[in-house]
Amino acid sequence: MQQFKTILTQLTEAINYLLYFALMAGFTVLFAAVYATLDSRIYEGALMRTLGANRSLLRKTHIIEFSALGLISGLLAVVISEAIIYALYTQVMNMEYRPACICGLLYLLRGLYVLVLLDAGCKTCA
């Protein structure tokens, strides 16, 4: 029994390291995607300022854009993770599935928070 616990602990640590690696790769892709569109956002901001928009309007549009992007990515993450958990519970472990609604809400808010922080860190956008 002790050997089983040791193997299970090592397996859990390995899965956690893979999770951290995947999260870091995801953040790297997210930063690259945000900064890849930086030039077009600067151009759009300059065009909108030429047409009479003020700095606060530009900031609000960026916050709305990144908030929507964060909510959509969070919602997609929740749906995919719940589908995987459902399949694991019902097909692999033959257990009853109970959705974790509060965790889903936290994932949505986390996605929103990260992308709004990315926009707030981008001082040249507005």
Instruction: Give the confidence band of 60 by pLDDT, cuts at 50, 70, 90.
Output: confident
For 65-77, how does the pLDDT look when each residue is reduced to its tens digit (9 = 90+)? 877 877 787 778 7
pTM for the full model?
0.59
Quick check: 37 pLDDT over 80?
yes
pLDDT digits (tens, 9 = 90+) for 86-107: 888 888 778 888 877 676 677 6
Give me the half-sphere count of Cα atoms (radius 13 Å) on the Cβ side of residue 29. Answer: 6
Quickly count: other Cβ atoms within 10 Å of residue 110's Cβ: 14
Instruction: Say yes or no to pLDDT of 126 above 60.
Output: no
- What percentage of the chain carries pLDDT values higher than 70? 86
Among 73, 81, 78, residue whose Cα is nearest residue 105 = 78
